[in-house]
A and B are shown apart, each in its own frame.
Chain A
Amino acid sequence: MPAPAEIFQTLSGIFPSDAILSAPEDLIPYSFDGTAVLQQMPVGVVFARTTEQVAELVKAANAKNFPIVTRGSGTGLSGGSVPSEGCIVLCLSQMNRILEVDTKNLTLTAEAGTVTLAIAEAADKVGLFYPPDPGSMKISTIGGNVAENSGGLRGLKYGVTRDYIMGLEIVLPSGEVIFTGNKCVKDVAGYSLRDLFIGSEGTLGIITKVLIALIPKPAARKTLLATFDRMEDAANTVSAIIEAKIIPCTLEFLDRVTINCVEDYMNMGLPREAAAILLMESDGHPVAVEEEAARMAEICSSFGAREVKVAQTEAEALLLATARRAAFSSLARLAPTTILEDATVPRSELAKMVARIQHVAEKYQLKVGTFGHMGDGNLHPTFLTNEKNTEEMHRVEEAMVEIFDYAIELGGTITGEHGVGLAKKAFLKKAIGDLNLEVMKQIRKSFDPNGVLNPGKIF
């Protein structure tokens, strides 16, 4: 690895001086992302404004042999944008222009550093809809969303980021720039390279531009809140709703610990004594929405919901969604360190998974708050601990292993939407098996033989 001075000299040939950070006070804030505990100082940080700069940087990285870690707003939850040792952090937050909204083809083109919310708002302005809404969408960038294939609260009906990506401009690990995909609804010319980059966590290329598919905005929506005295009832309700062939837009869940933390923050009158709440949203044609909402309310009641409330206004519905989005960060009120998991199981197995999480928490004497996208089978058990307490952290690790093992046993996965990054790296092999892992390694090697992009992540 070259000396930092040599790297900075190279960088100054590509970037203006105010786009290069090197002082410790500037670098420390880039030594972590949204993931707990993980931290690593980068050698430097650069801000690109053009694809050409990114390409030059990647060429230099190959020539001089230093790694690059790409980053948007650093809200990732698996350590994907935590610096690798000796790396330069490439921050794309300043490449944030929306380049085109095409109302004839229902597409939007934006630079990778564009904030997700800005895309949703730009779509909304012309009566269109960009459904993926990860918890951090107010600040997360679209490039980061694509790299992690982020989910959100609407995954159940609308899918995840992948389902809305029509094309990508990518700087390959060689420094060459390709565009994969186009505005065609159908295209089977060759491999779907685009799909390879989605969810590649910054290891196969650097996404600089995104071509997004938009859909018409649903005409109506209705938000429901159901309160349960037993967690299993909430889990069984979700399985029953799916079994009844209802696919609502949102089917979210919060347990008592999470409800109380969110209520501490929002002060909005959530039922503090409930064991669980389900947040449901139906959208679409007004008549269909009415019917779907009524049927869901019915199922909730028949599975033991103590109360089912309907949001009366748009503002009330928004408040409920905001409350759900605040769940993870609110849990940090209870303990210095929050270790968030992302285990996902087939929806028929939800009640078993929920029960096992409780059991594991008790077994290891750990405090856990669980919330998540129950309709997707995607749970976020969150351990409330203290990283300074090594003994307890050890128990957290053991509990995690048990939860992952059980999720895999139920036909599930170790991560539904946060990615592997650094946090789930140790569990990947167990989740996907040797051969899958080997194929992935070969793909990576063929794209990035020198290992310049995000080394040490995923595997």
Chain B
Amino acid sequence: MNAQRFAKPASLLRELDYAVLQQCMHCGLCLPTCPTYDDTKVERNSPRGRIALMRAIADGKLEVSEAFADEMYYCLGCLACETACPAGVDYTQLFETARADAEKSGVLKSPKRDAIRLTILRGLFTRPRLLRFVGRLLWLYRASGAQFVFRALHLNRLLPYRFRELERMTPRAEAKFSHQLIRPVERPAGAIKYKVGLLTGCVQDIVLSQVNRDTAEVLLANGCEVFTPAVQYCCGSLHAHNGEVETARELARKQLDAFDLNTLDAIITNAAGCGSHLKHYDHLLADDPVYAGRAKVWSAKLKDIHEWLCEIDFRKPVSSPGEQTVTYHEACHLCHGQKITKQPREILRAIPGLKLVELTESTWCCGSAGIYNITQPEMAAKLQERKIRHIAATAAPVVATANPGCHLQLESGAQKFSLDASIRHPVSLLAEAYRQEMRA
């Protein structure tokens, strides 16, 4: 018994239900939808190839190696393969388990990587107040003119290439964060039809807090009483996708503690990447003796904002905020992760004066993919360029998208390729139309 207890932990893939791996019958229908395979044409960089590697580990034919771990992080996690897969392979579960295995094995361990992961994943994204403090510093960097001076003096040339790219991607933080824009409880002007909780996210909270305000306003305009806890924890998607499953569970519990599920009709998220993960809390906490039950209720009540608005038959705005042409980039974790494709379009089409032009390859990943654009800058840049090229072809001055990662990736891409397009959340466009009504 003792020997077993102190033995090296077995591979998580070996512990996984083998049927999940067997679900893949390697027909190859996923290949043309995989951005990494499309680029390299090498099987290892495809969903089918990655699953074969995972299965080899489960079969004991391969140990978790550095090459295996690298491959798992080369995957964008865009889940386009899940949409393409007729056999219903649960790739999300497979790749999260594989990445967790990679972390557990320590094959990628290096002091630098450990330090970064410790600071960002465990340090920053588990402490909402600290995160906001860093957000404040980011805001100061730009607002104080330090960024301007830094760039004007070309000090970025002193940085190594990778950091130079990162400096360029430094997101602009908003002057006010969500809790300064949304009161903990806000009531609609008319009758209360629904009570909903609003998740403000972490990146969204700091960089795109106005989207959160817009979401609250749209909910209020549709008879929802909105509960928005002032301090919210990260949903844990970054952790789950990067092999830190335990931290992800811890964050999920904190999330569950923040809302009184029994009194709410729905919990609303406006960030696709968060939503895709938040809906899986029931799986994530399935073995938790205390939280499993509540997690189930949570998953049932968790709604993406577009999904919710269409479900409650949202009020169509009557005033036009002006003629505008908009194209729509589908966040992977909305179209593939949550299979939500019609609703955002329905919302956009409901806005008077808005013309929606379809984007070629609208469901193809933009390269943001969580922190992928930081960990795999080369592939991320290729995907960004491909996306910007398609956007440019639509000639639409506005690109709607519903995920902060995509939002920033498209913004930085537009800047890089001098494309004059503004990036907006569909809900922000809807909120504008409602506001126009008030003015009219």
Contact = CB atoms under 8 A, between A and B. Distances in A.
Interface of A: 21, 23-26, 28-34, 36, 47, 73-75, 93-94, 96, 115, 117, 136, 138-140, 261-262, 264-265, 326, 328-330, 332-333, 336-338, 386, 388
Interface in B361-377: none
Nearest to A35: B26
Interface string B21-57: 0111111110110000000011110101110110010
B44 A330 contact: no
A34 B28 contact: yes
A33 B67 CA distance: 22
B29 A139 contact: yes
B87 interface: yes
B56 to A, nearest CB: 5
A254 to B, nearest CB: 13
Interface in B296-324: none
Nearest to A96: B41
Given A34-B26, A74-B28, A336-B23, A28 B53 contact: yes
> 4 shortest A-B CB distances, which residue pairs?
A29-B49, A332-B87, A336-B22, A29-B43
Contact of B68 (A25, A96, A140, A337): A25
Given A34-B26, A337-B22, A25 B32 contact: no
Contacts of B422: none
Contact of B52 (A21, A28, A333): A28
Interface residues of B, number: 33
A265 B52 contact: no
A31 B44 CA distance: 11
A29 B44 contact: yes
Given A29-B43, A29-B48, A333 B87 contact: yes
Given A28-B62, A29-B46, A332-B23, A264 B88 contact: yes
A24 B62 contact: yes
A326 B86 contact: yes
A73 B52 contact: no
A136 B25 CA distance: 13
B100 to A, nearest CB: 18
Given A30-B43, A47-B41, A330-B86, 4 more contacts: A34-B28, A36-B25, A139-B28, A332-B27
A265 B86 contact: yes
A328 B28 contact: no
B19 interface: yes
A338 B25 CA distance: 7
B103 interface: no
A73 B28 contact: yes
A31 B85 CA distance: 21
Contact of A93 (B41, B44, B52, B71): B41
Contacts of B53: 25, 28-29
Most chain A beta-carbon neighbours within 10 Å: one of B27, B48, B68, B85: B27
Interface in B56-74: 56, 61-62, 65, 67-68, 71
A136 B43 CA distance: 16
A115 B43 contact: no
A337 B23 CA distance: 8
Count chain A CB atoms within 10 A of each CB in B26, B53, B56, B65 and give the residue with the most: B26
Which of A264, A265, A329, A338 has the largest count of B CB atoms less than 10 A from its CB?
A329
B85 A329 contact: yes
Nearest to A261: B86
B317 to A, nearest CB: 29
Given A24-B62, A28-B62, A138 B32 contact: yes
Given A139-B29, A328-B27, A338-B25, A25 B71 contact: yes
Contact of A34 (B27, B32, B46, B65): B27
Contacts of B49: 28-29
A327 B410 CA distance: 37
Contacts of B31: 73, 139
A265 B88 contact: yes
B41 A74 contact: no
A96 B50 CA distance: 23
Contacts of B68: 25
Q: Which of B29, B56, B67 has the most CB of A within 10 A?
A: B29
A55 to B, nearest CB: 21
B52 A29 contact: yes
B19 A32 contact: no
Nearest to B65: A25
A67 B106 CA distance: 38
A31 B62 CA distance: 14
5 contacts: A24-B62, A29-B46, A136-B27, A139-B31, A265-B86
Interface string B83-109: 001111000000000000000000000
A333 B87 CA distance: 5
Contacts of B87: 329-330, 332-333
Contact of A336 (B19, B29, B62): B19
Nearest to A264: B88
Contacts of A28: 49, 52-53, 56, 61-62
A358 to B, nearest CB: 23
A388 B17 CA distance: 14
A138 B28 CA distance: 9
Contact of A329 (B18, B19, B52, B86): B86
Contacts of B29: 136, 138-139, 326, 329
Contacts of B52: 28-29, 31-32
A114 B27 CA distance: 18
Contacts of A117: 32
Contact of B86 (A23, A332, A337): A332
A139 B32 contact: yes
A264 B85 CA distance: 12
A28 B68 CA distance: 11
A24 B71 CA distance: 13
A330 B56 CA distance: 24
Nearest to B46: A29
Nearest to B85: A329
Contacts of B88: 264-265, 332-333
A262 to B, nearest CB: 8
Contacts of B25: 34, 36, 329, 332, 337-338
A338 B26 CA distance: 11
Contacts of B44: 21, 25-26, 29
A136 B84 CA distance: 12
Nearest to A327: B86
Nearest to A115: B32
Contact of B43 (A74, A94, A329): A74
Contacts of B56: 24, 28
B49 to A, nearest CB: 3
Contacts of A264: 88
Contacts of A36: 25
Contacts of A265: 86, 88
A21 to B, nearest CB: 8
Nearest to A266: B86
B61 to A, nearest CB: 8
Contacts of A93: 41
B53 to A, nearest CB: 6
A91 to B, nearest CB: 8
A139 B43 CA distance: 12
